[in-house]
């Protein structure tokens, strides 16, 4: 069979190619036409997305606790977003917008009491609380005290000695709609009640029901009263129309009967009782929230019995990082099941709104500091199928 190129010709061609290469010409192999590499049009690909809140519009979003971040690239057909690591400001203040408000009620007048944000001891908090109340009250002069030895409770009281009325006032730490609708009491957003040890709801010096008694005896009888719930042995009480005489409770026999340490000075019927103070039932503690809640656009994935957590993205434990000033998120601090949201159908990603919440649903104030979050994105290799006007987005 005839060979168009024999060994001699091939050797000559190779020698000519080598000589041409040595002379600076393109190698012979560069002129060989090869088939193109196989085009991958299936499966997925991964991208890293690092978010720095410093990139936000500071005019629109002065607080990084809630901000929109727009990306330089338009990510198409995103099938999942996973939190990998991050760094979040640790706010050292123990009084913040999470726990610095409550309502003082005098008759039908409501006063919004707010304590300035800062770092407090119980002593300085008591002083700030007393000053804030007295700055607004138009009826009473108040004192605030803290039992640091036995009960660690807070007592808010009025200076009393009047002969013209009862020392009536109220403190509100809960949602008013719960009272109005007969629902179980819940703390309202930003309340100081949790920190001070007060239970949610309203607390009044004037208690439910009416009372009657006979001069010279130590018995106070109730009608519609709940002495066991409303009072404790040692409490000081005042009787309507005997405004200036304090009586100390010696014993609580039942919800309808209690005794005093001294004999009653008059006979009375169908009167009301009042104390001149409201004491916290639990102990006061100056701590911030145990965790923060991260909401990411439409990446809703969590279920919870807590309204603020429902349909958010992740829970971030607020580990005490006062020495570094940062809460560091890493693989060791993330749950084993991964903080990841899957999308079906895939979504288009141009920007994300990030919101950090306190457990009560208030937006976290980072006080000028920024956060960093590192995400892993999974995208479809084959673009186009979902890139229509009806495709999902995560840009709200």
84: left (phi > 0), else alpha (psi -120 to 50), else beta? Answer: alpha
pLDDT of the residue at 389 = 40
Q: Is the dihedral of CA 134, 233, 238, 257 positive or negative?
A: positive
CA 53 – CA 354 distance, rounded (Å): 9
Q: What is the pLDDT of residue 179?
A: 64
Q: Tell the burial category of 230 from Cβ atoms under 10 Å away from its Cβ (0-12, 13-18, 19+).
A: buried
Tokens matching residue 393: 């987005």
Q: Which of 46, 77, 31 is nearest to 391 (CA)?
A: 77
Pairing of strands 340-357, 392-393: parallel
Say what the pLDDT of residue 184 is. 76
What lies within 8 Å, CB to CB, of 311 at 6+ separation is: 295, 300, 301, 302
pLDDT at 95: 92
Q: Which residues contact 13 (CB under 8 A, 6 or more apart)?
A: 5, 28
Q: What is the C-alpha R_g of the chain?
A: 35
Under DSSP, is residue 125 helix (H, G, I), strand (E, B) or coil?
helix
Q: Return the pLDDT at 390.
A: 39
How far apart, in Å, are the Cα atoms of 142 and each of 101, 108, 146, 193, 213? 17, 18, 14, 17, 30
Closest CA to 65 of 56, 74, 73: 56
Q: Do β-strands 326-329 and 372-380 pair in parallel, antiparallel, or remain unpaired?
A: unpaired
* pLDDT the model gives residue 355: 96
User: pLDDT 10s digit of each residue in the chain, 396 long?
Assistant: 445 444 445 555 555 555 555 555 556 566 677 666 554 556 889 999 999 999 999 999 999 999 999 998 889 999 999 999 999 998 888 898 889 999 999 988 999 999 999 999 999 999 999 999 999 998 899 999 999 988 899 999 998 876 667 888 999 998 776 666 667 778 888 899 999 999 988 899 998 999 999 999 999 999 999 999 899 999 999 998 887 889 999 999 999 999 999 999 999 999 999 999 999 988 898 877 888 999 998 798 898 888 889 999 999 987 756 566 788 888 776 777 789 999 999 999 999 999 999 988 889 999 999 999 999 999 998 765 545 443 445 555
pLDDT of residue 37: 59
Domain coordinates in residue numbering, the chain = 44-92+288-393, 95-206+279-287, 207-271
pLDDT of residue 159: 86
Q: How far apart are CA 354 and CA 247, in angstroms?
A: 56
CATH 2.60.120.1100 fits 44-92+288-393, yes or no: yes
């Amino acid at each position: 069979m005839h060979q168009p190129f024999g060994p001699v010709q091939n050797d000559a061609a190779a020698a000519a190619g080598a000589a041409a290469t040595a002379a600076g010409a393109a190698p012979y192999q560069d002129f060989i036409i090869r088939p193109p590499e196989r085009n991958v049009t299936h499966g997925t690909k991964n991208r890293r997305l690092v978010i720095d809140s410093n990139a936000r519009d500071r005019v629109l979003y002065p607080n990084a606790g809630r901000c929109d971040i727009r990306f330089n690239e338009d990510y198409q057909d995103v099938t999942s977003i996973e939190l990998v690591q991050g760094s979040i400001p640790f706010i050292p203040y123990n009084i913040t917008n999470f726990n610095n408000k409550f309502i003082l009620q005098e008759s039908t007048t409501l006063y919004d009491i707010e304590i300035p944000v800062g770092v407090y001891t119980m002593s300085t908090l008591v002083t700030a609380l007393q000053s804030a109340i007295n700055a607004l009250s138009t009826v009473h002069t108040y004192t605030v005290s803290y039992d640091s030895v036995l009960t660690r409770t807070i007592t808010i009281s009025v200076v009393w000695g009047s002969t013209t009325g009862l020392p009536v006032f109220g403190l509100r730490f809960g949602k008013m709609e719960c009272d109005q609708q007969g629902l179980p009491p819940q703390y309202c957003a930003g309340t100081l009640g949790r920190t001070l040890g007060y239970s949610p709801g309203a607390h009044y010096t004037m208690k439910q029901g009416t009372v009657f008694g006979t001069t010279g005896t130590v018995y106070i009888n109730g009608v519609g009263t709940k002495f066991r719930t409303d009072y404790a042995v040692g409490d000081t009480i005042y009787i309507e129309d005997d405004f200036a005489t304090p009586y100390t409770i010696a014993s609580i026999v039942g919800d309808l009967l209690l005794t005093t340490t001294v004999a009653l000075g008059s006979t009375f019927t169908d009167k009301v009782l009042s104390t001149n103070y409201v004491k916290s039932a639990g102990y006061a503690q100056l701590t911030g929230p145990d965790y923060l809640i991260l909401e990411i656009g439409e990446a809703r994935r969590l279920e919870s019995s807590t309204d603020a957590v429902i349909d958010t993205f992740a829970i971030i434990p607020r580990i005490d990082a006062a020495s570094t000033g940062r809460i560091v998120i890493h693989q060791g601090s993330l749950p084993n099941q991964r903080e990841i949201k899957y999308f079906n159908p895939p979504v288009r990603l141009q920007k994300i709104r990030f919101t950090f919440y306190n457990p009560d649903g208030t937006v976290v104030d980072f006080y000028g500091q920024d956060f960093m979050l590192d995400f892993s994105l999974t995208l479809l290799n084959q673009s186009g199928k979902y890139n229509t006007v009806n495709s999902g987005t995560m840009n709200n």
